[in-house]
């Protein structure tokens, strides 16, 4: 059956302006980091993308190395685009990244002009696209001059291969310098993608200030702390959870008694607010308007519905914020 997007898809979503740019992103974006690889069930991934779009999620976030195997998430997404979204391309924001290892030899990772341009060309072929909307440098390169990396980003904009450029995992100092270089080239940095959650607050120590000063947006990954800030771990580690599997992002030894105690107390507060813990955690990262979009992952359609429902209650009282700080500060 031919896919036809929901007529009311823009009614329930909140859209935020990205820094000082003309672009807006949905407050919730869908990441294809997990569950869209060659080892995953295609129809499940397809159903999630369709449902996300029907709920007003216009932004789909990828990277060259997403899978497994690396590259396969882009291939999967390319198939979904061809099958279902050819008529909707101009309503979509599609992003991808380069920075991590993709092929053998000295040109297959990091931040050289050679690697970044070659990688973007490969990504466009995998997705069968003429351009992406946002292209990120995925991580700082300690050896390549930042001027070379930023010049490569400027170059792919001028080639028409991406509309905007961005960075991920950069420190506050690195972000300020990258922004300065890009502004000098005439291609400002659109957005930064850092990790951020109630359990991971490093961006509050300077990075958010730099982003505000430079007019750069932010889209945060792992807002649910790899699933820890959901109801999955309220009663220990389920055998089918990410922490119990081969994931390098959430290990059993990270789920300490102290963390579980905090999760339970946060869950109590979420229930008082009429939300799931995941919904409250997403609302928390979006509080105050400093974060443009929260990047979610999903393994089934129902999780997307649950996450988007967080937008119905984004406000926090001073008392609620104080309780969260007290819970997080406890030993």
pLDDT > 70: percent of the chain: 95
Give tens-digit pLDDT for 273-286: 999 999 999 999 99
The answer to whether residue 270 sits within a structural domain is: no
- The domain tally of the chain equals 1
The answer to whether residue 85 sits within a structural domain is: yes
pLDDT exceeds cutoff 70 at 30:
yes
Residue 108 DSSP symbol: S
The answer to whether residue 229 sits within a structural domain is: yes
pLDDT exceeds cutoff 90 at 27:
yes
User: For position 131, which CATH number holds?
Assistant: 3.20.20.100
d(CA 318, CA 38): 46
The answer to whether residue 2 sits within a structural domain is: no
Give tens-digit pLDDT for 170-223: 999 999 999 999 999 999 999 999 999 999 999 999 999 999 999 999 999 999
**How much is the pLDDT for 242?**
55
**How much is the pLDDT for 331?**
80
The answer to whether residue 264 sits within a structural domain is: no
**How much is the pLDDT for 238?**
64
Structure-block tokens of residue 247: 């994931």
Give tens-digit pLDDT for 35-50: 999 999 999 999 999 9
Helix axes 42-54, 72-80, angle to 10 degrees: 60
pLDDT exceeds cutoff 60 at 246:
no
The answer to whether residue 244 sits within a structural domain is: yes
**How much is the pLDDT for 315?**
97
The answer to whether residue 155 sits within a structural domain is: yes
Residue 65, domain extent: 15-255+278-314
Give tens-digit pLDDT for 145-175: 999 999 999 999 999 999 999 999 999 999 9
The answer to whether residue 218 sits within a structural domain is: yes
Find, among 254, 249, 283, the residue nearest to 266 by Cα.
283
Helical ranges in the chain per DSSP H: 42-54, 72-80, 113-127, 146-158, 172-185, 207-214, 257-272, 277-285, 301-308, 318-329
pTM: 0.94
In terms of residues, how long is the chain?
Answer: 331
């Amino acid at each position: 059956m031919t896919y036809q997007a929901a007529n009311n898809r823009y009614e329930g979503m909140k859209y935020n302006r990205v820094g000082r740019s003309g672009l807006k992103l949905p407050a919730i974006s869908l990441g294809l980091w997990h569950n869209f690889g060659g080892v995953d069930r295609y129809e499940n991934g397809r159903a999630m993308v369709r449902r996300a779009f029907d709920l007003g999620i216009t932004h789909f976030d990828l990277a060259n190395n997403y899978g497994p195997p690396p590259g396969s998430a882009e291939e999967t997404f390319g198939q979904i685009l061809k099958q279902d979204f050819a008529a909707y391309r101009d309503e979509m924001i599609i992003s991808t990244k380069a920075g991590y290892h993709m092929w053998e030899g000295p040109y297959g990772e990091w931040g050289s002009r050679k690697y970044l341009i070659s990688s973007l060309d490969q990504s466009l072929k995998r997705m069968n696209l003429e351009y992406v909307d946002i292209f990120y440098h995925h991580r700082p390169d300690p050896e390549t001059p930042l001027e070379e990396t930023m010049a490569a980003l400027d170059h792919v904009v001028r080639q028409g291969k991406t509309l905007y450029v961005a960075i991920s995992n950069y420190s506050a100092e690195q972000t300020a310098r990258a922004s300065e270089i890009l502004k000098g080239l005439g291609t400002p940095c659109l957005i930064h993608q850092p990790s951020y959650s109630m359990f991971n607050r490093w961006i509050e120590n300077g990075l958010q200030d730099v982003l505000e000063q430079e007019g750069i947006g932010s889209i945060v990954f792992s807002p649910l702390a790899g699933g820890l800030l959901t109801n999955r771990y309220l009663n220990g580690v389920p055998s089918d959870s990410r922490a119990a599997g081969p994931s390098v992002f959430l290990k059993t030894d990270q789920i300490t008694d102290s963390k579980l105690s905090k999760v339970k107390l946060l869950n109590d507060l979420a229930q008082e607010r009429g939300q799931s813990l995941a919904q409250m955690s997403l609302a928390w990262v979006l509080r105050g308007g400093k974060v443009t979009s929260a990047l979610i992952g999903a393994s089934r359609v129902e999780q997307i519905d649950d996450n988007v429902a967080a937008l119905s209650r984004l406000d926090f009282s001073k008392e609620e914020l104080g309780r969260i700080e007290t819970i997080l500060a406890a030993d």
